[in-house]
Amino acid sequence: MNRVAKLYKKARQWTVHHKRELTRSALSAVGAILLFQVLYPGDRMLPLEKVGATHVGTWLKQDAAKKLEKQLANSQINVYIGDSKSAYTTIKPKDIGLSMNVSKSMPSSEYPWYVRIVPTSILWFQLLQPNPNIGYSRNEKIALQFLESDLATSCVLPAKNASLKFNGKDFDVVSAREGGTCKKSDAMSALANVSPSFSGVASARIPAEVSQPKIHDADAQKLADKLMSTSKSGVSIIVGKTSQNIPQTEVLSWLSFTTKSSELTFNVDATKSKKYFSSNVTPKIAKQAGTTYISTQDFTILSKKVGATGQTLNTTATLATIEDVLNGDSEAAKAMTAPLKPNVVYRRSYTSTSTGISALITHYDDEHAGDFGVAFSELSGQSRSASHQATRQFTTASTYKLFVAYGTLRNVDSGKWKWSMQVQGGRNLTKCFDDMIVKSDNACAEALLKKLGYSKLTNDIRALGLSQSGFVTGDTPLTTAGDLTLFLTKLQNNTLGLKSSSRTTLINAMKRNVYRQGIPAGTSATVADKVGFLNALVHDAAIVYSSKGTYVLTIMTDGSSWANVAELTRKIEALR
């Protein structure tokens, strides 16, 4: 008897001898399995459950439903045009207003009692269950928006030309795609019938009259072969009196591709090549420019010493020579240069005259950020005046509150308004007027302006000679540095037609203005001013009670700063 037979006989004898124990064990195992099956929670998926490629075993059914719905929401839909074999585009369900629900039809929605008492059914019963039914909800409005905006205009789907993409070693062809012209109704019908499922990629095929791309894959491959050939040894570039080689992979990584006159063309991208040229070319040809020194007095040039012209890399011209090499029209590229103008340093001086102050203001604008409108007028002493862009209109910002104050005081002087009358938010005219000028309160100013009337106040201030200032309902109020300086000159000289008490009320309020970063910060004198700031606008209109004589200064700026307003004031003060 051979060894196998002996082992079989021995095993059989052991089984017969232990038959009772084995039977008990088997019955216990079956009992345990049946107990597990009977007690298995009805709200969970069976242990080996799988829907499509997604494992959901032992998951709570509601969690499994959410997972499957998320998988469906992230699934892809290929959109085909006509009989094209390649997808025109790939989208997600939400792009066409498609949403899906599976929670009401999950697999193993029942694990019946008569199945539970079948031993091992928990391991195979899910194989008998169908995938869950998918409930589809469609938003036709979103689908139409996708069709008209994202996919096409009037259902005209342009063909996509072939192109190239450098992969770090050579070129990959970005395949051409057919386009087409379709009926909107056909396209909407195709999108409405898309039904993503748990297996495969969903698709929508829109019936269309197919249009062919002008540049095919073969055309793109031909250009790729040409570029690989013309650059196989890199690109030689002459830099000054020496030559250096740009590696093939380096130069090809700079290329961008476009379609021009039905032909795929390339160009060397300046941004992509910048790092290489900055490190390897520009330093070898650059020459620093010298400095031109110009001495001026007021607006007159007294002397001029011209500095040497420098040079730097002319990137555009240089890249054109590289393109010639890649096109096979030249054997070597060349680093082309462009001249660098000398730096200009002004040595300025100013006379203490009206012309000198005007020159100072003009040059300050030239040398600092933002646009300036400035008007200066001495009310005593030498009676100098100066201006720069004094007739340029700016949005008033809060300087318009000076005009509102003027209209208010006229009504008080005439007896039409009382200081005790209520204006805004429980504040009477006395409180509102003070808040408007001292704190630049907007609510009071707007309430008073509405009472005064836009057209009426415009006519009143223009009667004073402020021809470039005014209010038009719904439009932005405008003024100029010249008009504000004229207004403050008349206020200080008491020629506005106001009572002396009213004039004093306004000037005293202006002296208590809480915003002091502009003209007041540039002088040690007492200042009565009204500021305006809005977005990039920074304005200050002031009466300055200087020991050298009272003057009016208005500085209006767009894109400057309070620091510049203060500095310009200091410079004017120093020149007086």
For 286-319, write each residue's pLDDT tens digit.
999 999 999 999 999 999 999 999 999 999 999 9
Give pLDDT tens digits for 198-249.
Answer: 877 889 888 888 888 999 999 999 999 999 999 999 999 999 999 999 999 9
**Same structural domain, 183 and 95:** yes
* 397 in a structural domain: yes
| CATH code where residue 301 lies | 3.10.20
* 44 in a structural domain: no
**pLDDT attached to residue 152:** 60
* 49 in a structural domain: no
Give pLDDT tens digits for 160-191.
Answer: 999 999 999 999 999 998 888 888 888 888 88
* 264 in a structural domain: yes
**Same structural domain, 358 and 333:** no
**Same structural domain, 335 and 361:** no
* 117 in a structural domain: no
* 349 in a structural domain: no
Among 344, 362, 385, residue at a domain's last position = 344
Distance, in Å, from the CA atom of 161 to the CA atom of 80, rounded to the nearest integer, reads 16
Task: Give every CB contact of residue 546 below 8 A, 6+ residues apart in sequence.
Answer: 523, 525, 573, 576
Better-scored residue on pLDDT, 27 or 560: 560
| CATH code where residue 432 lies | 3.40.710.10
Give CA 36 to chain center in angstroms: 60
**How do strand 526-534 and strand 422-424 relate by DSSP bridges?**
unpaired
* 47 in a structural domain: no
**3-state class of 460 per DSSP?**
helix
Among 323, 344, 365, residue at a domain's last position = 344
Whether residue 530 is predicted with pLDDT greater than 90 in this model: the reply is: yes
**Same structural domain, 66 and 35:** no
Whether residue 93 is predicted with pLDDT greater than 70 in this model: the reply is: yes
Residue 90 corresponds to which tokens in the numbers above? 């790939």
- Residue 75 DSSP class: -
Rg (CA), the chain: 43
523 band by pLDDT with thresholds 50, 70 and 90: very high
Whether residue 67 is predicted with pLDDT greater than 80 in this model: the reply is: yes
Distance, in Å, from the CA atom of 567 to the CA atom of 576, rounded to the nearest integer, reads 15
What is the average pLDDT across 518-535? 97
**Same structural domain, 339 and 358:** no
Q: 549 near 379, Cβ under 8 Å?
A: yes
The stretches of 305-425 forming alpha helices (DSSP H) are: 315-326, 354-367, 401-414
**Same structural domain, 459 and 538:** yes
Alpha carbons within 13 angstroms on the beta-carbon side of residue 523 total 29
Q: 58 near 143, Cβ under 8 Å?
A: no
**Same structural domain, 160 and 246:** no
**Same structural domain, 257 and 373:** no
Among 307, 322, 344, residue at a domain's last position = 344
Angle made by CA atoms 467, 471, 474, in degrees to the nearest 5: 145
**pLDDT attached to residue 291:** 97
Residue 241 corresponds to which tokens in the numbers above? 């009196």
Residue 327 corresponds to which tokens in the numbers above? 């096109």
**Same structural domain, 395 and 532:** yes
Whether residue 108 is predicted with pLDDT greater than 70 in this model: the reply is: no
**pLDDT attached to residue 493:** 97
Residue 438 corresponds to which tokens in the numbers above? 């001292």
What is the residue range of 312's domain?
A: 231-344
**pLDDT attached to residue 81:** 80
* 116 in a structural domain: no
- The label of the residue with tokens 């004198």 reads 525
Better-scored residue on pLDDT, 434 or 88: 434
> What CA–CA distances, in Å, run from 257 to 162, 165, 320, 325?
10, 8, 15, 16
**Same structural domain, 500 and 368:** yes
Distance, in Å, from the CA atom of 240 to the CA atom of 337, rounded to the nearest integer, reads 10
The stretches of 18-111 forming alpha helices (DSSP H) are: 19-39, 61-73
Distance, in Å, from the CA atom of 86 to the CA atom of 80, rounded to the nearest integer, reads 7
Whether residue 397 is predicted with pLDDT greater than 80 in this model: the reply is: yes
**Same structural domain, 88 and 25:** no
Structural domains counted in the chain:
4
Whether residue 109 is predicted with pLDDT greater than 60 in this model: the reply is: no
The proportion of the chain whose per-residue pLDDT surpasses 90, expressed as a percent, equals 65
Of 522, 558, 395, nearest to 469 by C-alpha is 395
**Same structural domain, 151 and 288:** no
